[in-house]
A = this chain, B = another copy of it.
Amino acid sequence: MTVQKALVVGTGLIGTSVALALREKGVAIHLSDADVHAVRLAEELGAGRQWTGEEVDLAVIAVPPHLVGDRLAELQKQGSARAYTDVASVKAGPIADAERLGCDLTSYVPGHPLAGRERSGPAAARADLFLGRPWALCPRPETDAGAVRRVRELVSLCGAEAVIVGAGDHDAAVALVSHAPHVAASAVAARLAGGDDVALSLAGQGLRDVTRIAAGDPGLWRRILSGNAFPVAEVLDRIAADLAATASALRSGDLDDVTELLRRGVEGHGRIPGKHGGPVRDFAVVQVVLRDRPGELARLFNAAELAEVNIEDVRLEHSTGLPVGVAEVSVRQEDTGRLAEALRFHGWHVPPVPGGCR
């Protein structure tokens, strides 16, 4: 193991979670934060102990993007570590800062674990925050191979999957799959703020899904978006253009363009990787009508277990007004018949399994 001693600079959600994950693998962790209370809390959570300046194998800089460069410069001046990485959600800015500040770029491997949460602070930290999540790494031609090896070890010790990508490509990618979709969800949800109660009473599960991430903290997202402003703006402009074009196509009655956008939407949705990296639509959905009483879902999953069917996902369709709901249970295609049969046997109403899958 090339990482025996690590320093975590910045004991917020991500930094403290990294510390907890490394502790579980026996790595000695030193903690540092401008906020002494944050360090103390992280210590109390068992994340490690306060750093007193000793050299470590790897320094993980877990501070806001605009501070990464300064921190890296300070740490390198003190010769604090053999290798350095950061966890900022954008990469081009911090790298530019590091260059401007004359940092040693051979020992610095820019990184970004994709483990978003709607809460922050050390108290929300989890050792398993990164389990199975992608962790982007943006080494450059001049980056030292030993430094890359140490940071790759960090990623695997945290149970994450390293994804090597250029900094510019990374920022464009997160704008596409995370930042711009968040703004779009906010824009859809913002329309509802002015809607009347009758209109809202006609809302269904689809609207809940589209707008769920819009509940995220505006202050946090303001910082995220400002750090990736141009790539996000580019994606938003294209989405805005598609929506404006659809609006005028609807007014002019030229529905072919509308259908084309819907078709591209189906295609794009199909490209999102699902559980275990497989495409989401590999799973078929079995619907089950549920009574809203304690243990109903337990009985459902027990029945699935008896039928030796592994449930890949479950979604409850809320019913407004009545104590009943529909569970959409995702299982492997070949299991749908057996599961439906088993559930019907146990008395559930299971509508015919459709050919169409998620």
Contact = CB atoms under 8 A, between A and B. Distances in A.
A11 to B, nearest CB: 15
Interface string A333-354: 0000000000000000101101
A321 B277 contact: yes
Contacts of A234: 247
Interface in A275-334: 275-277, 280-281, 289, 292-295, 297-298, 301-302, 304-305, 308-311, 313-316, 318-326
A14 interface: no
Given A126-B351, A230-B251, A314-B316, A325 B275 contact: yes
A349 B301 CA distance: 20
A34 interface: no
Contact of A222 (B262, B270, B311): B262
A247 B266 contact: no
Interface stretch (A1-9, A115-123, A145-153): A115-123
Contact of A258 (B177, B222, B230): B222
Interface stretch (A50-58, A75-83, A236-244): A236-244
B247 A240 contact: yes
Interface string A157-168: 001010101000
B354 A119 contact: yes
Interface stretch (A25-33, A62-70, A95-103, A193-201): A193-201
A229 B251 contact: yes
Nearest to A330: B316
B320 A277 contact: yes
Given A118-B354, A203-B272, A203-B273, 18 more contacts: A116-B206, A119-B354, A133-B320, A163-B202, A173-B196, A176-B199, A181-B207, A184-B187, A189-B269, A193-B267, A195-B268, A200-B273, A214-B265, A226-B250, A226-B258, A230-B251, A294-B309, A297-B301
Interface of A: 114, 116, 118-119, 123-124, 126, 128, 131-134, 136, 159, 161, 163, 165, 169-170, 172-174, 176-178, 180-193, 195-196, 198-204, 206-216, 218-219, 221-222, 225-226, 229-230, 232-244, 246-248, 250-251, 253, 255, 258-259, 261-277, 280-281, 289, 292-295, 297-298, 301-302, 304-305, 308-311, 313-316, 318-326, 349, 351-352, 354-356, 358
